[in-house]
Copies of this chain bind each other. A is one copy, B any other.
Amino acid sequence: MVQEPLEVLNRYLTEHGMKHTRQREIIVEEFFKSNKHLQIEELLNQVKKVEPSIGYVTVYRTLMLLKECGLAHQRHFGEGKSLFEKAGDHHDHMICIKCGSIHEFEDDRIEKLQDQIAKRINFKIVSHRHEVYGCCSRCQNE
């Protein structure tokens, strides 16, 4: 049975002597409401619609917290701002260099080949990033 994100977070908070706050509640709710890859500032804008006094730093810190308890992933596509997405099944990304759209993919055959190569040099894989940059279907027709 899968744990609800909020349960995981609440357990993490109590186990670490951390507090429940209105800000965290709003930020986490807005984050999980969206299904996109979000910049900190994008999430901040969402959050400010609910509570305008919340600042960038609190959103930033809450995302770090979600990362720490494994509920979010931080991605660094290209060279600009990083993006956050909720954790879920593993996948990699194809990123359109024209419009920025992101297409997720996953392929067990690639992951297996990757494991084989690692095993050959006795390398213990902890994580990987496989990012493909190019031009999406929509951006090719214009």
Contact = CB atoms under 8 A, between A and B. Distances in A.
Contact of A123 (B109, B117, B126, B136): B136
A33 B129 CA distance: 30
A94 B121 contact: yes
A58 interface: no
A32 interface: no
Contacts of A140: 122, 124
A90 interface: no
Interface string A101-136: 001010101100110011001111111111111111
A24 B12 CA distance: 54
A89 interface: no
A76 interface: yes
A97 interface: yes
A137 interface: yes
Contacts of A124: 134-135, 140
A131 B132 contact: no
Nearest to A115: B132
Contacts of A96: 123
A94 B118 contact: yes
Nearest to A120: B105
A93 to B, nearest CB: 10
Contacts of A136: 121-123
